[in-house]
Each structure stands twice: as C-alpha cells, then as structure tokens.
Structure 1
Amino acid sequence: MNNNTDINKPSENGDIAANDDIKVSPGYANYVLGVLFIVYVFNFIDRQAMSVFIGPIKEEFNASDTQMGLLVGFAFALLYTFAGIPIARLADRSNRRNIIAIGLTVWSAMTIVTGLAKSFSHLVIARIGVGIGEAAGTPPAHSLIADYFPINRRATALAVYSSGVFVGSAIAYLGGGFLREHFDWRTAFIILGAPGLLVALILRFTVKEPPRGLSEHRSNDSGASTFKETLKFLLSSPSWVCLMAGASCLSIIGYGIMMWGYEFYGRIHGMSPIVVGQWMALIIGMGGCAGTLLGGVLADRLAVSKPSHVIRIPGLLTLAGMPFGVAALLVHSSTLSLIFLFPFYMLLNVYIPPMYSANQNLAKLNMRATASAIVLFIINIVGAGAGPFIVGALSDFFAISHGDQGLRYALVATIAIGVIGCGIFALSSRWLRQDLQRVQDGAMA
C-alpha cells in the first residue's frame, strides 16, 4: 500500500520528527499497518474467545442465556466504551504507540486472569479488565493510520486494519474449538492470552510515533480540542449523525452473530464444537475480511470518482445481504445455513471501512483519536453491549414457547433492525460532500 512518500527520519527518541519536509517510506508505513493489524487480531482473539465457551461456562456456573449475554456483552462493553473516551483524549495529546502497547499488555494479562476465575462475578471482573485494556487499542490506531496514509488510500488502510476483527475471530473460533474439544475453558484462556504480551514489546520498540497531519502535509489545527468541542463539531455534521445511527443498528446484528453464532450451530444444528469452529473460522474470517476489504477499496475509488456515493453504495450492498441472513437462520439444513451465512456476513461488513474513513475525514487533526473513541463508544455500547444482551434476552423469551429454538428467532429478530440501519446509513451520503468541505475550509482558515 503506497502512500507516495519515500524517506523516514527518526528523532532522537526513535520517533518521527515533526518536520514538514519529513516523509515516510511506503514500506515502513505498510509495516506499521501490519503491526497494528496483528494487535487488532489479538484484540479480537481475546475478546471473541468467550463466545466459544458460552456453553461450558454457562453449565459450570449455572447461568442463564441472559446472564451470558451480559457477560459477553455489557460486562466487556461498558468499561471498554467509557474508558475509551479519556484514553482517546490522552492519545490526542501524547504518544499513541505507547498507549496501544500498554493497553495490549493489560488486556492480554486480564485474558489470562479470566482462566483463573473462581466464580461468575470473578469472570465479570476479568472481562471488565479486558475491556479497559482493549479501549486503548483502536482510537490511537485509527489516528496513527490517518497520519501514515493519505485520504485517497485511508479507507483501504483502515479496511486492512479492520479485517483484524475477522482474522482474530476466526482464530478464536478455530483455536477455541480445538481447545474446547481437548482442554477445559480455563486452560484455553491462559493459552490465548499469553502471546499478546510478546506482541506488545514488538509494537513498543519497532513502531515510531509520527507527527500529526504527516500524510496530509499539514500541522495540527490549533492545539488540542476538548471532548465537548469534538462532540459538538461532529454532531453539527448531518452526515456524521446519520452515519452513526445507521452503523449502530448494523452493529447489533454483527455482534449478535459473532457472539451467538457459535452457540447457534451447536444448539440448533447439533454440530460438534470443533466442526462449528472450523466453519465459523472460515465464514467469519474469510467472509468478514472479503467484505471489509471490498468496502475499503470501493470507498477509496469512489472518493476520487463519485464522492457522494462513498457511503450510499456500501450501505446498499449491506442491505442486499439481509435476505441471506434470514435464510441462514431459518433453514433446517446445517449445510444450507452455512452456505447462506457466508454472503450475508461478507456483505454485512462492507459498510465498516467507509464509516471509519468518513469519521476520520470529518474530524479535525486534533480530534481524530477522540472522534474514533466516540464512534467506538456509540457502536460498542449498542452493538458489543446491547447486541449480545438483546439476543440472549430474546432467546430466553422465545424459549418459553419454542424451547431451544428460541435462539434462532432471537437472531432473526435483529435483522429487522439492520434493514433500518442500512437505510439510515445510506442517507448520510446526502450531506457528506458539504461536511467534508467544511473540514477542509477550517483547515485552510
């Protein structure tokens, strides 16, 4: 991925000096992206592993689906989202690389602690710790990527980074399925958490902190903005408001499938843990990556030729996948269900890179990490938090009349929310051009 820059000059502390003449080699920018991608992979290995072990954890602690929905949802998401704001504020003022390295160390350690939990309440505390650590991951990473890659390549770079969600989830499904088959769930969490400690060292000592605005050859706008100023600026963009409303609805389905899909195929279709892990790794890993990369490449090309379609077309493509999702959940053949799940999940994630790229582009330089944290706050409190909880609560509700089939109808019910979300998301393109121009006019003022 070439950002059309060719040299790399470090400052005395090993970071990149804040000098308008300094450029970064394409190879090094790609290396940074690769390291951040690996960090995000571990982010979702440690996060997603819990979904693989819903069954044995539920059995050991005699928990309900509602309780498990809280554990994999709000127990993680609440502190993840609330801690993300102050951490992102810090990232807009200080060294983003160091913040990510510290966060990775914390969430890896707390994943290991999860395997040592002696009660359900201990599990909740450990998940909260994982959430706090992971809050230091994405907002600083988005800001770093925006500085290493110019606007016409930013969506693709963010797509590569975002695909870490699906690679990490695939590894969690595949490795977790194997571990569930051969080990107890406690051993699994210790094994999955340990490698992240090594990756934190690699990040800290090989990634350099760039000056803000490096890829756009402009300096920081006017000093650090407050959280209130950032939020007010973003809320004044109609395109951003629609973007967030639509993405929030879509995140309910995405996190619902990611956290309950493994249990769905085991409970409804009677598939063995290792077979479910193999299929979910293939579908979530390949399908999610394909959809995300498609969305990134599409957004970058449209940004040059048809800027007004950067959001609209990805939103409509995501909408086109919803019928496949309904079919995947309702058919009684496990083979057909898995076949339908692939195009559904691929198209479900096309909107993600355009959304992240637009968010960075609609924010001022000194707002980017905070803007990313605000997006993650909204999407994770609704998607990662409410999504799994809604599915779990609906599963218990439908179980009254449909038994184990309750989980099937709970997941189907969330697709209607996604259809609405696609429409709102696509609508944001109506104001996108004028809102982007406002940012550029402010930068030149």
Structure 2
Amino acid sequence: PIFLQKAHILASGSEDPKEKTNVSLYFGIVTCGAGILGVLLGSEVARRYRKINARGDPIVCGIAVLLALPFLFSVLLLSKDHLILTWIFIFIAETLLCSNWALISDMLMYIVIPTRRSTASSMLIFVMHLLGDASSPYIIGEISDFFRDGADDNLTQWVSLRNALMLTPFIAALGGAAFLFAAMFIVQDRRRAEETIE
C-alpha cells in the first residue's frame, strides 16, 4: 500500500493521514474481493477445461499469471496519474493471480502419494512464504532504497518504489512459464502417483 499511498499523494497533492488509511483500506477490500473471485473463477475454469484437456490445471494457472502481466505493468506505470484505472487494474491483476491458489493445492494432492502429502504441503507453504511474503518486502525495500539514494520527496520515493516493483512482473512471468512447463509432465506425474497408491 505504500506505493499506492505515494501515488495518491502525488495525484491529489494531499498528505492527509486519513487518506493513507483509506488507501490501505481500499487495498484490503480490493485484495479480499479479488482473492475470493480469483479462487472461484480459477477453480471453475480449470474444472471445465480439465474435461477436454487433462493438463488443464497448470495451463489455467500459467495463462492466468501471464494474463496478469500487462495489468501489473499498467498499475506501476499509471498509478500516479490515473488512480481509478489503477484500482481497476489491481483488481484484475489480483483476481488473475489468485485464480491459481486452489489449483496449486489440488495439483499437489494428486501428484503426491497420500503418505507424503502433509510433508509436500508443508514444504510448498514454506517455500511460497520464504520466496514470497517473507523475503520480497526486504528485497523490494533494498532495491527501492538503492534507487532513492537518500532522497526524501514523495516523487522520488514513488519512482524508486515503482522501479523496484518492476521486478514483480518479470518474476510473475517466470512463474507463468513454470506452470506451462509443468503442464508437460502433470499427466504422467498423476498417473505415477495413482499407480503407486494401487
């Protein structure tokens, strides 16, 4: 939300603390709504697509992540000048990115044998948090501080955060490509797990 708070300050010219609180509130509402819609939408699209393509789950995940990329870039580039459009793009990007949550768990459960599922699930959660919300704020902060070079004005802070956050779409693109790569092996992996169970 700090990036959006700086964008709001630059767009409105106001540094009212209530506005900062409102930006955080709006971000939370948009994120919750996008998360719920994304999970429902991703699950339903994958369920339907799986009927015609057994590789449907990772393909839906990969395409959703790749479709989110232009919206992620747009948020970073337009946030200072087009706040309403930015909120719309955030909602779309988060919906697309959240559409894979249920599918990832589902794929994990059907490619891992039952006696190893709890370990696999724990490892997945650990790695996702380690590479995601645990380390990324620090990494983005360090990159932003590098670009900011000690400057304290709102425009420089917004630009430095924007430049640091530009890493996000590229990492997301790698994730989308990884899902599509996984689609090549998902059917065989599922078959092996089922054969092991039998």
Scaled by the length of structure 1, the TM-score of the pair is: 0.39
Q: Cα distance, 1:313 vs. partner? A: 2.4
> For 2:90 and 2:51, how far apart are their aligned partners in 1?
33
**Residue deviations 1:265-285 (CA, integer Å, cap 9, x gap):** 222322713321332123101
Query: Residues 159-170 of structure 1: matches in 2 within 5 Å?
Result: none
> For 1:303 and 1:372, how far apart are their aligned partners in 2?
23
Give the secondary-structure state (helix, strand or coil) at the position aligned to 2:8. coil
> For 1:397 and 1:313, how far apart are their aligned partners in 2?
37
Give the secondary-structure state (helix, strand or coil) at the position aligned to 2:166. helix
Please identify the structure whose Cα radius of gyration is greater. 1
> For 1:326 and 1:269, how far apart are their aligned partners in 2?
18
Matched, 1:404 2:157: yes
Runs of 4+ with >6 A deviation: none
Count, aligned residues: 183
| Aligned residue number for residue 72 of structure 2 | 325
Give the secondary-structure state (helix, strand or coil) at the position aligned to 1:428. helix
> For 1:285 and 1:392, how far apart are their aligned partners in 2?
24
Structure 2 unaligned residues grouped into runs of 5+: 10-14
Q: Is the 8 A contact 1:296 1:354 kept in 2?
A: yes
Query: Residues 88-99 of structure 1: matches in 2 within 5 Å?
Result: none
Q: Cα distance, 1:320 vs. partner? A: 0.8
Question: What one-letter code is carried by the residue in structure 2 that aligns with 1:305?
Answer: I
**Residue deviations 1:37-81 (CA, integer Å, cap 9, x gap):** xxxxxxxxxxxxxxxxxxxxxxxxxxxxxxxxxxxxxxxxxxxxx
Q: Cα distance, 1:374 vs. partner? A: 0.8
Q: Is the 8 A contact 1:266 1:273 kept in 2?
A: yes
> For 1:431 and 1:297, how far apart are their aligned partners in 2?
22
**Residue deviations 1:259-307 (CA, integer Å, cap 9, x gap):** xxx1112223227133213321231011121112211222333344321
> For 2:44 and 2:138, how far apart are their aligned partners in 1?
33
**Residue deviations 1:307-354 (CA, integer Å, cap 9, x gap):** 112211221122111111111111122222212211111111222221
**Residue deviations 1:190-234 (CA, integer Å, cap 9, x gap):** xxxxxxxxxxxxxxxxxxxxxxxxxxxxxxxxxxxxxxxxxxxxx
Residue 189 of structure 2 is aligned with which of 419, 430, 435? 435
Q: Cα distance, 1:424 vs. partner? A: 1.4
| Aligned residue number for residue 349 of structure 1 | 98
Question: What one-letter code is carried by the residue in structure 1 that aligns with 2:113?
Answer: K
Matched, 1:367 2:131: no
> For 2:36 and 2:180, how far apart are their aligned partners in 1?
21
| Aligned residue number for residue 268 of structure 1 | 7
Residue 413 of structure 1 is aligned with which of 149, 157, 167? 167
Query: Residues 306-317 of structure 1: matches in 2 within 5 Å?
Result: 306-317=53-64
> For 2:49 and 2:88, how far apart are their aligned partners in 1?
30
| Aligned residue number for residue 175 of structure 1 | none
> For 2:48 and 2:121, how far apart are their aligned partners in 1?
23
**Residue deviations 1:93-140 (CA, integer Å, cap 9, x gap):** xxxxxxxxxxxxxxxxxxxxxxxxxxxxxxxxxxxxxxxxxxxxxxxx
Query: Residues 105-120 of structure 1: matches in 2 within 5 Å?
Result: none
Q: Is the 8 A contact 2:65 2:175 kept in 1?
A: no
Q: Is the 8 A contact 1:288 1:345 kept in 2?
A: yes
Give the secondary-structure state (helix, strand or coil) at the position aligned to 1:437. helix
Question: What one-letter code is carried by the residue in structure 1 that aligns with 2:74?
Answer: A
Scaled by the length of structure 2, the TM-score of the pair is: 0.85
Query: Residues 175-254 of structure 1: matches in 2 within 5 Å?
Result: none
Residue 378 of structure 1 is aligned with which of 111, 127, 150? 127
Q: Is the 8 A contact 1:321 1:344 kept in 2?
A: yes
> For 1:378 and 1:274, how far apart are their aligned partners in 2?
31
Q: Is the 8 A contact 1:324 1:340 kept in 2?
A: yes
Question: What one-letter code is carried by the residue in structure 1 that aligns with 2:8?
Answer: H
Structure 1 unaligned residues grouped into runs of 5+: 1-261
**Residue deviations 1:362-407 (CA, integer Å, cap 9, x gap):** 1111111111001112111111222111111111111127731211
Q: Cα distance, 1:412 vs. partner? A: 1.9
Question: What one-letter code is carried by the residue in structure 2 that aligns with 1:393?
Answer: E
> For 2:50 and 2:119, how far apart are their aligned partners in 1?
24
Give me the identity figure in percent: 25
Question: What one-letter code is carried by the residue in structure 1 that aligns with 2:2?
Answer: E
Question: What one-letter code is carried by the residue in structure 1 that aligns with 2:145?
Answer: D
Matched, 1:392 2:141: yes
> For 1:373 and 1:304, how far apart are their aligned partners in 2?
29
Question: What one-letter code is carried by the residue in structure 2 that aligns with 1:340?
Answer: F
Give the secondary-structure state (helix, strand or coil) at the position aligned to 2:135. helix
| Aligned residue number for residue 291 of structure 1 | 38
Give the secondary-structure state (helix, strand or coil) at the position aligned to 1:268. helix
Matched, 1:280 2:27: yes
Q: Cα distance, 1:410 vs. partner? A: 1.1
